[in-house]
Amino acid sequence: MPPDAARIGDAIRALLAQRASDASICPSEVARTIGDADWRERMPEVRRIAGALARDGIVLLTRGETVLDPDVPPGGPIRLRRGPRWDDARDVHDGARVAQNAPMKTPAHADRPDAPPLPASPACERNRAPILDVLRVAFASRRHVLEIGSGTGQHAVHFAAAMPWLRWQSSDRPGQDLGLARRLALAALSNAPPPLDLDVAQGPWPVPASGAPRFDAAFTANSLHIMGWDAVEACFAGLGAMLGDDAVLVVYGPFNVGGAFTSDSNRDFDAMLRARNPQSGLRDLEAVDALAARIGLRLHADVAMPAHNRCLVWQRP
């Protein structure tokens, strides 16, 4: 049976930690560390987990002096080196930390032994507990949540299971296949229906399946800095029409404050994002708050989170 994602992620971090800060490693070194004579069979999974770590900014995928886009599966040889959020990966909430010997909870083979592994985000595993601490309060009286940009579905499954009074409606862009539908199907939670297709920039926006006219809550994590600013504006405009009169919106991720980066690692992360896509980048908290104000949302809480992230909570009066 292949090693779980946590073992591979731990091996990548351990090998890089043993090298100089600007040194790199080959994925085959990781495969040999966790495997034996059949280490070559481990390579696809090692490259997949390396890609997940790269999307989180913890490592970089390189070929020569070129940094590769982790969202484009690389063909040919690659190497791994520390990314702009390498140090932040260890600055996490105790309850969310992926311990050195703790397996990631990804039910990749829950119903079919031959099923391919589910994509998994190490960042989701680390941040889900501190985010849940915020959501338990913010969503205590909510009933129907729309999640935007659900990605791998790790947050959707974890939060729906932890807050059974909520109907957690996940969504993502059409054609974005990070295992969301399969993870939800494997979890088989009565309050987590199949995901919706939603491109916030183009719509159409969903009508709540429960029959309620509008959602009374919305959540998104690590999405605003991936979207272009036009899409961020469209996202808030869409939410304005979808959210109820007393709705709550929670957004998690890194933000600039007063037009300035809050850490060196956030500055480096922003540079990496813009190198991949000039339309991406960390957003100014004040600019996002202005978009929220346009749709009648008032900022109720700005909660500092591990690794220089924040949870912003807005509510309509």
Is residue 52 located within the same domain as residue 168?
no
User: How many structural domains are present in the chain?
Assistant: 2
The residue from 62, 83, 104 where one domain ends is: 83
Q: Please check whether residue 65 is in contact with residue 10, taking contact to mean a CB–CB distance below 8 angstroms.
A: no
pLDDT of residue 36: 62
The residue from 83, 110, 135 where one domain ends is: 83
Q: Report the candidate in 231, 236, 239, 242 with the shortest Cα–Cα distance to residue 202.
A: 231
What is the CATH number for 282?
3.40.50.150
Is residue 241 located within the same domain as residue 300?
yes
pLDDT of residue 211: 56
**Is residue 91 one of the residues assigned to a domain?**
no
**Is residue 104 one of the residues assigned to a domain?**
no
pLDDT of residue 41: 86
pLDDT of residue 17: 85
**Is residue 73 one of the residues assigned to a domain?**
yes
Alpha-carbon separation of residue 205 from 36, 136, 194, 235, 239 (angstroms) = 50, 26, 16, 10, 9
- How many CA atoms does the CB half-sphere of 61 hold within 13 Å? 24
Residue 240 burial class via C-beta count within 10 angstroms: exposed 0-12, middle 13-18, buried 19 and up? middle
Q: Please check whether residue 199 is in contact with residue 174, taking contact to mean a CB–CB distance below 8 angstroms.
A: yes
**Is residue 130 one of the residues assigned to a domain?**
yes
Is residue 36 located within the same domain as residue 177?
no
Is residue 191 located within the same domain as residue 301?
yes
**Is residue 106 one of the residues assigned to a domain?**
no
**Is residue 180 one of the residues assigned to a domain?**
yes
Please tell me the total number of residues recorded for the chain in this structure: 317
pLDDT of residue 91: 42
The residue from 28, 56, 83 where one domain ends is: 83
Quote the CA–CA distance of 155 and 146 in Å, as a whole number: 12
**Is residue 116 one of the residues assigned to a domain?**
no
Look at strands 215-221 and 243-253 and give their pairing.
parallel
Is residue 76 located within the same domain as residue 187?
no
| Residue 70 belongs to domain spanning | 5-83
Look at strands 309-315 and 167-169 and give their pairing.
unpaired
From first to last of the 317 residues of the chain, give the pLDDT tens digit. 345 677 888 889 888 888 888 899 999 999 888 776 678 888 888 998 898 888 888 899 999 888 888 877 777 899 999 998 887 765 432 223 222 222 333 333 444 555 677 888 888 988 999 999 999 999 999 999 999 999 999 999 999 999 999 999 999 999 887 899 999 999 999 999 999 999 999 988 986 555 555 899 999 999 999 999 999 999 999 999 999 999 999 999 999 999 999 999 999 999 999 998 999 999 999 999 999 999 999 999 999 999 999 999 999 98
**Is residue 111 one of the residues assigned to a domain?**
no
Quote the CA–CA distance of 160 and 7 in Å, as a whole number: 26
Is residue 78 located within the same domain as residue 176?
no
Is residue 77 located within the same domain as residue 193?
no
Is residue 214 located within the same domain as residue 158?
yes
pLDDT of residue 89: 61
Is residue 226 located within the same domain as residue 131?
yes
What is the CATH number for 30?
1.10.10.10
pTM: 0.74
